[in-house]
Amino acid sequence: MSESNAKTAQDVYEIICGLSADEREELSAMLEHNKSDGWVSPEIKQSWLKEIDRREQLHRQGRNPNMSWEEVREKVLSRLDSLK
């Protein structure tokens, strides 16, 4: 390691390998919890959530009679999944 005590991925891996199975499992759970929710960005997530609300309002107002709310919701959620 360098004098600045910076650790490389390899250094961290070696430390992790020295942990007990329980400690590795706990670390894995912590890392999994810390991961992003799969969205490309918070802005895109917010935009899609607004779009869902907009489409729901149109449906409830009868301004989109050719497509049910369930169909709209399914399409939007499918597109959201593809952005992850």
Specify the residue for token string 């992790």: 16
- pTM (2 d.p.): 0.36
Dist CA 13 CA 3 (whole Å): 19
Q: Which two tokens stand for residue 20?
A: 């007990």
Count the Cβ atoms, other than its own, within 10 Å of residue 46.
Answer: 11
Name the one residue in this structure whose structure tokens are 């890392």. 31
Query: What are the boundaries of each domain within the chain?
Result: 1-35, 42-83
Helices (H), 6-68: 9-17, 21-34, 42-60
List pLDDT tens digits, range 25-61: 998 888 876 666 666 678 888 888 899 898 888 878 8
